[in-house]
Structure 1
């Protein structure tokens, strides 16, 4: 065509066509991710005990040797979203009973958390349902006494692992350490449990924030300061005297360590969380009746389902990050990062399809 005619603003016409063409967007468009939100309250629980706000996730499986046979085991990680403390445990299966038993062991060692953040795994959903039904079956007088001990479950939207990036990144660290130690070999179950606890100690000794190379700078804070009263479990106990007249009582010593942790946490580590590493600009927000293409990494792009947004869920800052999409007669809750906006389908085209 260009050999016979001089096309005016041809590139603009093609881009305009690709922007409005539904088939072109189905093959070329990407999701419009909103700007990264402010820090959630779970990361700002200052002066609260460790694991007050906890994220939980499962990982695995691992092959263990029991006699002459081999079985599968799974790991579960509990991550304090404020102090970055880590608690690891071993699961025999991924059912509800195994999760509830692990939760009881976690509460017995670390205390009852105020809230648990997790994905929509069947073991987590079933555990929350059983705990809720057991609480509702109690008499009103007992409910009033145990109301403060209730654990608030907060579930992430389906297919949204970036909603739990804090503990998903910790799963990667655990897998990296296990890959170095075990080297893809199957070991007895007590050995695997011991290795998990050792990996837990390594992760809790990880410094929070940047570690300076200057010897005059103070030592970086670690989760071990709150959990064990020292910066590393492999090092001997050290006495941090802030006033010079501590005395001999250990509770004063532990209080000085906790105060030192929180003061350093607020001054050095918390400001580093304010920066937005990605998602720094806002895209076009979803609206009701918007036609969207649902991203499914397990299917080819040509087979991704197309649906219509029936409800949106704005966050605390007013930005929409989750929506309910209707596909035929079923509805699905999906994050905006998994939805590609398409041009609206006219009534005639819809009836033809």
Structure 2
């Protein structure tokens, strides 16, 4: 596997911009909610969620969407912009997680209506190259953990009747929990007793929203709706504390300069779904240099049964077989 020295932080991670000016996003779900009571029981429909995370403050915002259309997605963007202000840049993965959700929701990022709306708002939608979710690690990890916990909790709660009101309140509780996490290590300085959190940057309030008094257990899932929400929120907090907060430590990797992949190099393309002997062999036909002159992604041409294809891949998905110089 080829690796390259880790790139410098992107400019939108370092700029002193208002919260949610540069945003990473992902779509996940669906979940079934009860919409209205009928004589035969209750009518049900599906809900998805769009999770936005701020690139600079690391705050999170969640919007529910209820129909499989670009218009519904634009409505979610509109609500997000109305609450958090207009964004300049939207970033997302090009992998199966996001593109698959977009396909299911019939959201086309090339859709004329969607692009017209973004253009009107002065907003640009940028995609990472395929198979390179690590290039969006600042939001991908946060979204991935939150989405995995939410999916697990709501999957366990599928035997109860969720309503749109319960689900939207639960998402608000999840936002409060995520945005109350510390951004920096706890200081031992008595003159700095407060923790820096995304919620503090958003609300300018030092005190986080406290949970309701009382203990909420599994039987509360069948009780009043507000108790259902608090039981789900407690479950999210317990998993969030064990799966995410415990990992808040510095990691150091990709610290050394490595030779760049060059045009003409022969490489193998990694494929998690194929045996190693069946990985495609190809020739690098184009490279993309970052501002620091390091190549972290390239286009590779492969030929299978006479059919030529060109793939855009990160260098971490390549195994160098033969350098063009040799």
- Separation in 1 of the partners of 2:170 and 2:115? 36
Cα distance in 2 for residues equivalent to 1:103 and 1:299: 38
Distance apart, 1:90 and its partner CA: 1.9
Spell out the pairing of 1:105-184 with structure 2 (5 A cutoff): 105-120=79-94, 121-122=98-99, 123=102, 126-127=108-109, 129-130=111-112, 134=116, 149-175=121-147, 177-178=149-150, 182=154, 184=156
Distance 1:219 1:133, change over 3 A: closer
Indicate the residue corresponding to 2:27 in structure 1: 58
2: CA distance, partners of 1:76 / 1:188: 18
Measure how far apart 1:280 and its partner are. 1.2
The aligned counterpart of 1:288 is: 263
Q: Deviations over 1:131-171 (max 9, x none)?
A: 576379xxxxxx9xx6xx41122210011111111111212
User: What's the TM-score, normalizing by structure 1?
Assistant: 0.67
Larger Rg: 1
Count of aligned residue pairs for this structure pair: 266
Kindly provide the CA deviation profile for residues 10-57 of structure 1, in whole angstroms up to 9, marking residues without a partner as x: xxxxxxxxxxxxxxxxxxxxx1110001111010111x2110111111
Identify which of 173, 180, 190 aligns with 2:165. 190
Q: Identify the residue that residue 88 of structure 1 maps to in structure 2.
A: 62
Q: Which of 47, 72, 93 lines up with 1:73 in the alignment?
A: 47
Which ranges of structure 2 fall in alignment gaps of 5 or more residues?
37-41, 211-249
Q: Which moved more, 1:153-162 or 1:174-183?
A: 174-183
Distance 1:232 1:302 in 2: 57
Ranges in structure 1 where 5+ consecutive residues have no aligned partner: 1-30, 137-142, 236-274, 346-353
Q: For residues 238-253 of structure 1, what are the structure 2 equivalents within 5 Å?
A: none
Residues 81 and 87, structure 2, Cα contact 8 Å, conserved in 1: yes
Instruction: Provide the rounded CA distance (Å) in 1 between the counterparts of 2:30 and 2:117.
Output: 32
How far did 1:70 drift? 5.3
Mapped contact 1:32–1:284 kept (Cα < 8 A):
no
TM-score, length-normalised on structure 2?
Answer: 0.72
| Contact kept in structure 1, 2:22 and 2:56, CA below 8 Å | yes
**Cα separation, 1, equivalents of 2:140 and 2:166:** 24
SS in 2 for 1:281: coil
Higher strand share: 2
